[in-house]
Structure 1
């Protein structure tokens, strides 16, 4: 399934970021771009190879869910049931076949939760392992810091407080900070751009942002509605178990914080492994009482239906030519982000081909967002396209076109916006993905711009956009 449809816009961005390795980026820490570089070096230009790390991470999340169930006292059946619940959850299936910071963030939360549960039960050096997991997770996404803060609030307010009176949790925190430090230093040296990115997400600028009122209902979709009883029981069990009550408090704290800050709905999904693991045992106990056969059939049916629903909506199963006739993209925005990039680049190449030969040599491409720029970076060389530049996120920090560059092939901009920067702006084509799918790029105009009104050094600050 990993090779279905095509590259996601984020994956195209990571491919370029992987060629610009750094301790940090405008919108993320360095781990996922580094993994994209490793995949590129190991497997070459292979979409399946690029996504191999994501598939492995998804498998490890399932494993961690089973291990959490064991820590909560569940037997083999509870471990297998909790792992199965996680394995068919919509969110894991959605992120498990794409190279994404969200994939590795889910793994970081699962591993960290498992190690914290072990540390609460066993104490001592187990905390140091949790610190290592937190530090590595922070090199992928700073959301791990929210989990750590929420767990600390949970331990202080609901206990157990005894571990906080030992040096181990604080030593673990020091390990995490030490591992995170290179990225923090990079952010400080560049003016903390990730704070600006967070503000942009809160304002709804991201394609996966959602209205605040959808945040809580969306949790039902992410775990899969048929599995909601399992994680509800898990949350109830955690709240009633003194040793693990901090996780229930952490879930409530994070839900409130993310809701008030208009965070993306999936930010809370990192605690699904804990909730499903905690709920698996009691749900199986319920199935073993009373009408055992009927209840067992209900649980098995819920798992099967969840798997079918999740796969249909979040895996590339539907033929791409038929996708526009389904509700898939309305539910799963990311599906549309994997469609049409080769045709997008070909349309840019067609515009480039109509330029006089004297202009083609010095032309550049200016893209409105990192996905468009990443597509030209990926497919442009084989189409003979010139270098691409963009003011979006980290692309802006990779610099403007050369001052001596010629005409600009622009996409992702409106005509009026371009006329503030160029004396001549003419349409040269229109993006069509060929499958009638209404995604972000469909119908965009490709422009040829000449007679730049200022040096690139003067224009470049006006092109910067974070979001």
Structure 2
């Protein structure tokens, strides 16, 4: 995210962004708030650091409550007495109105079909744009809450369809930490072993001690698996129309005949995504 995108993204907070901006200026420059100067500079430093590190605009969220409090004090102190009550209540009502309209975007209080219709009515494309620029039906955070148990159910059905000897040797592998994490979280109650993945910090936990002569994979393409195994069979298909693109249409494969053991190939997978 560019610095400009980060700054423009602060307006996603709505009218309270103006109050937060006023609060930042007040904390840094207002004499009446000089005893809180360190707080202001700390908030400013956090924002600058996020910009320099190319952070997402919403990473600034934890800074906003402090700035909103300072901005509210500024409004209270510097409104003309005759208009002060009107201006204060106007500020409150504008913020509350915006918050009411955007509440379903911040909290998953609507069922997916209702949420889709609400977003269509709202016309907010930003709300359904993912961190890689894809436009989905639901906000990414909400879409990423859906479908995980169905994935693990599919893997469990395939696992329990293996003969007992293969169940002892099989390795479960997810193409990303979401799929592997879902197996680790939901899998034990379905009688599944833990999963492996070579993405992110999952790679550091290694492939385990099984060579991978039998593998159940989820989230990979058929071609991905035939690069490493002699035999790849489609065992299940999981679809979720409300999920993000990479989780919407997944296949579960049973793979046999690895060309290398997992322990041999694992070092070369470091840094792969």
Tell me the TM-score normalized by structure 2.
Answer: 0.79
| Gap runs ≥5 in structure 1 | 1-209
SS in 2 for 1:408: strand
CA drift of 1:447 comes to 1.8
- Greater relative contact order, per chain length (Cα 8 Å cut-off, separation 6+): 1
Distance of aligned partners of 1:257 and 1:378 in 2 relative to their CA distance in 1, 3 Å threshold: closer
- In the alignment, is the contact (CA less than 8 A) between 1:329 and 1:336 conserved in 2? no
1:344-387 C-alpha deviation (Å, 9 max, x unpaired): 11121233244345423322210122221111112112223233
1:311 and 1:281 map into 2 onto residues whose CA distance is 25
Going from structure 1 to structure 2, the CA distance change for 1:438 and 1:260 (only over 3 Å counts) comes to same
Does the CA contact (< 8 Å) of 1:349 and 1:385 recur in 2?
yes
> Is 1:426 aligned to residue 233 of structure 2?
yes
Among 216, 219, 224, which residue is 2:7 paired with?
A: 216
Q: 1:375 aligns with which of 144, 167, 182?
A: 182
Please identify which structure carries the higher strand content: 2
Displacement of 1:401 after TM fit?
Answer: 3.3
- Report what 1:449 is aligned to: 255
Contact persistence 2:173–2:215 (CA under 8 A): yes
2:96 is matched with which residue? 304
Matched residue count = 254
Alpha-carbon RMSD across the aligned residues, in angstroms, is 2.8
Structure 1 residue 257: Cα displacement: 4.1
Runs of 4+ in structure 1 off by over 4 angstroms are 210-213, 244-254
Structure with greater helix percent: 1
* Cα distance in 2, alignment partners of residues 404 and 240 from structure 1: 63
Deviations 1:186-219 (A, max 9, x none): xxxxxxxxxxxxxxxxxxxxxxxx5654211212
What is the aligned counterpart of 1:341 among 148, 156, 181?
A: 148
Cα distance between partner residues in 1 of 2:30 and 2:253: 62
User: TM-score by structure 1 length?
Assistant: 0.49
Report the CA distance shift for 1:340/1:217 in structure 2 as closer, same or farther (over 3 A). same
Q: 2:136 maps to which residue?
A: none
CA distance in 2, matches of 1:297, 1:212: 34
Question: Is the counterpart of residue 390 in structure 1 residue 216 in structure 2?
Answer: no
* Closer/same/farther in 2, CA of residues 235 and 260 from structure 1, 3 Å limit: same
Q: Could you say what secondary structure the match of 1:429 adopts?
A: strand
Mapped contact 2:217–2:252 kept (Cα < 8 A): yes
| Aligned position for 2:66 | 274
- Report if the CA contact (8 A) 2:2-2:51 is conserved: no
The residue number in structure 2 matching 1:225 is: 14
**Structure 1 pair 287–302 and aligned structure 2 pair: CA distance change class (3 A):** farther
Q: Is the 8 A contact 1:352 1:409 kept in 2?
A: yes
